[in-house]
Every structure is written in structure tokens, then in C-alpha cells.
Structure 1
Amino acid sequence: MEQFWRKYIFPFLYALLIYTAMRLINAVLTGFRFWERPLLETSIEFLLLFMGYVYSYVLNYLLRYYQRKPKPGPVIKEYLVVSAVIIAMTDGIILPIQHFTGDNGSQLYDVINFTLIPTLFYLLYYVIKRANASLRKSYEQQLLLEKISNNQLQTELRFLKAQFHPHFLFNALNTVYFQMDENIGTAKQTVETLSELLRYQLYDHQQTVTVGKELQYLQTYIGLQRSRMNDHLRLQVEIDNQLNKQSVYPLLLLPLVENAFKYAGGEYWIHISANLQNGWLVFHVSNAVPTAIEVKQRRGGIGLENLRRRLALLYPEKHELALCNHPDSYSADLKIAL
């Protein structure tokens, strides 16, 4: 309906507005009452209203022409060309008809009036159309840039996910390898647990899950790692009961826990806690480290670098990650806005 109005109704009504303005100004200046003249003459002039479609077509053609130019020139030059085209059409068609239907032919004020008014009106029409086209083009370009940016984001997240899986599998298979030397039954149980963890990782990393489900996955992983550690490990896990139905992107907590199990040593303890504080998920992991491991852990690995990048993409300005080395321990604190 909008296209029908713009293409078929508006040009005629706009031409009627211009014709009325021209005739009223002429009537004020000359006293010529065009409504009192023979109906035939008025009817002939009314045919000029259909010129609105011609003006509309020509101006839209010029607009498309200038929009397609790879290097548009100065705007003032474009407006001068458009004005010249409007004047040529007006003086070539409207003035001759007015000359034969006017009271005393075409006088100087007629030429000025019947040239100036259509030029101003149709130039205004062109300016508005051009502004709308520029806004639409700018909006489309912005949408295109956002689409490209989003595609780049998805590509990078898929790449980070592809990095994450081999890293996780490498550590988990090491666990199974050592258990097979000690107890085949325990190794089988570990493989079953590993299959549950991998099944969870099939979730799209750009789709959120509940915090409860994420923490349940984390506890399964902790159980898997605990099964390969000796009984001297002092493991403390504290989970806030308020953390349940909130939404979070998956597999953001695991790298910190994985890192703690990987480098735990010295006094051999690991502390893990998750709390809800003022709408933020506050996650803390700390572990004892031997002096020989301290330098390696300070550098971080693929898992931590991967985590930093995923947090930057998924929670821009809505997260805090602090990694701290101490003489005999290492701690990681992550805050995420829920």
C-alpha cells in the first residue's frame, strides 16, 4: 500500500499542490481569476497534473544516477544539475500551455512564477528524497557492518571452541592413561564420566545455560579429577545455593578449575567457591603450588588465554578476571554480570 501511494497517488497530489500555489500567486499578482474562465481551458491545464509522474520519474532517475556514482561530486553541483533539468522541463512544457490558456498570454511575471514555483517545490522534493536515500543507505551499511562483525565474532568463537576441546581432552586422557595402570574398573568409570562431560560440551558456546547446569558440569569434572589425585589433596568446594536459574554462557569456569588441578602442589590444597553477589557470579579458585611450578603458572596457557578472549567477546565490560601469584599459591577470581 505504501509503495502504491508513493508511486501513483503522491505525484498527482504533489502536482496539484504546485499548480494551486502557482495559480493562487498569479491571481494575487494579476487579479486573473482562473476559476472563472471557460472550463475547457482549465481542463487543459489540469492535464499538467499528470506531469507530476514525469517529474517524479526523472528526479528518481537522477537520484539513482548520483547514488550509483563511485565518487560523487560536490552536492551543490548535483543540485544545480537537478534544478536545470526541472527548469528545462517546466519552460518546455508548462509555460507553453500556460501561454495558450492564460488571460493575456505569458507575461514576465508569468514566466517567473511558473518557473520559480515548480523548481522550488520539485527541488525540495529531490532534497527530501536524497536525504531519505542517504539515511537508508547509511542504515543498510551499518547493518552490513554489524552482520560482518557478528560473523567474525561467531567465527572466532568457533575457533576458540575448537582450541578448547583438544586442550580439555589432552588433560582428561592423561588421567585415564594413568588410571589404566592402577585399576581398569576405575578407568572405565572415568571414561563414562568423560563422555558425560563431552556431551555437555556439544552445547553452542553462544547460547546460554542455567548456572545450576554449569555448576553441575563443573562438579562432575571435579569428581573426575579427584579420582586421579591421591588422598593427600585437601579439596574444598563451596557453592552458593542461590546460584541456580540464572543464565550464563557455558564452559567459562572450567579453565580456572582445570588450571588449579593441573598445577596443584606444595601443600597440596585446592579451594573452589561460587557465590551470588549483587547480581554477579563471583567465582574463586586457588591452589597451592610448588616453587618450581610458580613461573609456569604465571605465564598461563592456552586455556587461560582462550578464557580471556571468550570473556571479552561474550561479556564486554561485564566481567572481571584477576589472576594472582603468591609465593606458595595461585588464585583466580572471576566476576560475571548475570
Structure 2
Amino acid sequence: MNGKRWRWLFPPLYGLCIYASIRLVNDVISDTRFWERHWSINAWEIATCFTVSYVYFFVLMWLLRKRLSTTRPASRELLEAAFYIELISTFTLMPLAAFTDDGCQWYDVVNLYLIPLLYWLLFYAFARGNAWVRKSYEQQLLIEQINNDRLQTELRFLKAQYHPHFLFNALNTVYFQMDDDVPQAKRTITSLSDLLRYQLYDRQQTVPVHREIQHLDAYIGLQRERMNAHLRLEVYFSDQLRDQPVYPLLLLPLVENAFKYAGGDYWIKIEALLENGQLVFKAANAKPPIATVVKDGGIGLENLRRRLALLYPGRHSLETDDQPNAYSVTLKIDV
């Protein structure tokens, strides 16, 4: 039953229960049988109860909507509801009792004030509890939505932090190529535009891992153009990594750091494997005799750790191994 139909059917049905209770109590006290009266009297009383029930219902619902936005104590709210119930009873049910049967007796007064009060207070308490539960649920949904929006904003911010350093390296490469090899500089710019297109316009939540690997491969190719010819570079990407979904740009900072801090024996090893349902990505590089201090922030590991914690909570590991002559990092993600 939908909400609108319930609002119109509930009051008369509830009013009929109240009327039956009042009549049964009155008949016990007065030793009468209301069904033995003329049918027109019963019909008049039932029709009046139906009409008055709508008055009770909509007044109490109005009061409920009004009080939901306040912090008034529940006891005061129930007293206010009781006041409105008794006020309606005074101007509707009491005149009805005065003009039917033998007039308004003492037991009529007690029953007409007490029984509707108990019924409608019970209804109000139930409706109030249901409204507060619904309001609490809606507030919880709103809080979750706010938290989700905040996390999405933070993810976009962390993702964007990779771009400046990447652009700096690429533009620096183009700058030096312009003096020696203009055609190669043009090809580098084309490669750079493809890389930026992936980073700026591919906004789906996850991408097939082979697209991420293609992006890394293009980035490594761009880095080869600017690196010293003595660099020993080993790259291996497993053919098993195809359509497994991953979040984009998680692997790029590890590759960037390998190129940025490579020195000493001047070698870099990069590999991506699929092991036991996990993407295993390893990046290692030789270190110069006097290692460069890696500052936190920017495209550092702290930002990557934070992004992984948001995207893969409990479904990833990131381990580093800092040796005197080499540095390596291993990232494992459930895919």
C-alpha cells in the first residue's frame, strides 16, 4: 500500500476501532447493547467518528512536522499533542454524545476524553518514533554522501599532484631536443599529448590493466629520450595482465621515482606480473654514492599510500627496500 492511500484509509479504520472501544465500554457500564438501537443513530455516530478521525490525524501530523525541527523534550511534545486531542474531543465528540440516546452521562465524558486520548497518543508516539528513525537514516545517508564526496575530492587532488612533476620532466626533455633534433622533439610532443590525454580525459573509475601498462610503456619511452645512454633499463610486463580492472595512475609515481633517483651503477628494473589474483608491480633503481633525500609530499610514497588506502582498503600492500646501493618498491593489488 502506497503512502498516499495509507494517509486516506488509516484515519477512518483507526476511528472505527476507537468508536467500537467507546461503545463497548459504555454498554458494559450502562448495561445496554448499541446494536439494538435504531440503525440511523449508529450510522450517524460512525460517520461522525470517520470525519473526526481525519481531524485528529491531520492535526497530529501537522504537529509532528512542526516539532521535528525543534529540540523540545518528548514529554512536553506529548503534553501538547494531548492538549490538541482533548480540544478536538471537546468540540466534536462531546456535542455528539449530548444529542444521542440519553444525553451525555458521566461515563460518556470519561470515555470520550480518555479512550481517544490513549489511542491517538499511541499513534502519535509511534509516528514520532518512525519519523525520527527516518530522519536519522536520511541524515546518515547525507553524512555518507558528504564523506564520499570528500574522498572523491581528495582522490582527484592526489591524482592531480602527479601531473606537475611529470610535465616538468617531459617539457625539459623537449627543451633540450629542440637544439639537437627538431623532428624528435615533435615526436616527443606527440607522445606527451597522448600521455596527457590518458591522464586528463580518461575519467572512468577503473581501466583495464593493459591500458595502464600501455601508458607506462609510453612514459618509459619518453623518459628514454632524456636519460643518459649509459642507463641499463630492464622492463617486463606479463602477457597475463589484460582486462583486470585497476584504478589509473597508481603505478606511475613508482616509475617516476625510479627514473628520478637512479644513479650510481645507473640501472632501472621495472616489472609487472599476475600472481595469485594479484597485480604485482616492482620498480628498482641503483642509487648514487650520496643518495638524494626524498622529501615527503608531491608525488612521494605518502600520497600513493593515501590513495591506495582510499581505493583498496585491506586489498593491497606497498613495501620498500632501501639498500646502500639500490632502492626497490613492490606494490601488490587484488585484481
Partner of 2:66: 65
Counterpart-to-counterpart distance in 1, 2:241 and 2:41: 84
Counterpart-to-counterpart distance in 2, 1:3 and 1:301: 54
Q: Which runs of 5+ in 2 are unaligned?
A: none
Counterpart-to-counterpart distance in 2, 1:146 and 1:206: 21
Cα displacement (A) at 1:154: 3.1
Check if 1:14 corresponds to 2:14.
yes
Secondary structure in 1 aligned to 2:161? Answer: helix
Q: Is the 8 A contact 2:272 2:282 kept in 1?
A: yes
Cα displacement (A) at 1:275: 1.9
Partner of 1:117: 115
- Give the count of matched residue pairs: 333
Counterpart-to-counterpart distance in 1, 2:130 and 2:275: 48
Counterpart-to-counterpart distance in 2, 1:205 and 1:260: 26
Counterpart-to-counterpart distance in 2, 1:25 and 1:268: 99
Mark the CA change 1:66 to 1:172 in structure 2 (over 3 Å): closer, same or farther.
same
Cα displacement (A) at 1:78: 1.2
Of residues 174-183 and 13-22 in structure 1, the stretch that sits farther from structure 2 once superposed is 174-183
Q: Is the 8 A contact 1:282 1:335 kept in 2?
A: yes
Q: Deviations over 1:28-67 (max 9, x none)?
A: 4443211110122212212222101100111011112211
Q: Deviations over 1:276-299 (max 9, x none)?
A: 23332221111101132x2413x3
Counterpart-to-counterpart distance in 1, 2:204 and 2:154: 11
Partner of 2:79: 80
Counterpart-to-counterpart distance in 2, 1:295 and 1:200: 30
Give the alignment of 1:1-338 within 5 angstroms: 2-46=2-46, 47-69=48-70, 72-102=71-101, 104-205=102-203, 207-292=205-290, 294-297=291-294, 299-304=295-300, 305-338=302-335
Counterpart-to-counterpart distance in 2, 1:239 and 1:286: 15
Q: Cα RMSD (Å) of the superposition? A: 2.2
Counterpart-to-counterpart distance in 1, 2:93 and 2:160: 71
Cα displacement (A) at 1:25: 3.2
Counterpart-to-counterpart distance in 1, 2:5 and 2:186: 73
Q: Is the 8 A contact 1:284 1:331 kept in 2?
A: yes
Counterpart-to-counterpart distance in 2, 1:81 and 1:4: 26
The amino acid that maps onto 1:197 is L
Mark the CA change 1:79 to 1:178 in structure 2 (over 3 Å): closer, same or farther.
same
Q: Which runs of 5+ in 1 are unaligned?
A: none
The amino acid that maps onto 1:328 is N
Q: Is the 8 A contact 2:262 2:268 kept in 1?
A: yes
Secondary structure in 2 aligned to 1:265? Answer: coil
Cα displacement (A) at 1:269: 1.2
Of residues 44-53 and 247-256 in structure 1, the stretch that sits farther from structure 2 once superposed is 44-53
The amino acid that maps onto 2:322 is N
| TM-score, with length taken from structure 1 | 0.90
The amino acid that maps onto 1:90 is S
Cα displacement (A) at 1:307: 2.4
The amino acid that maps onto 2:89 is T
Counterpart-to-counterpart distance in 2, 1:232 and 1:300: 29
Mark the CA change 1:203 to 1:311 in structure 2 (over 3 Å): closer, same or farther.
farther
Q: Is the 8 A contact 1:266 1:289 kept in 2?
A: yes
Counterpart-to-counterpart distance in 1, 2:74 and 2:289: 70
The amino acid that maps onto 2:315 is K
Of residues 240-249 and 314-323 in structure 1, the stretch that sits farther from structure 2 once superposed is 314-323
Percent identity among equivalent residues?
Answer: 54
Counterpart-to-counterpart distance in 2, 1:261 and 1:335: 21
Counterpart-to-counterpart distance in 2, 1:5 and 1:22: 27
Cα displacement (A) at 1:325: 1.7
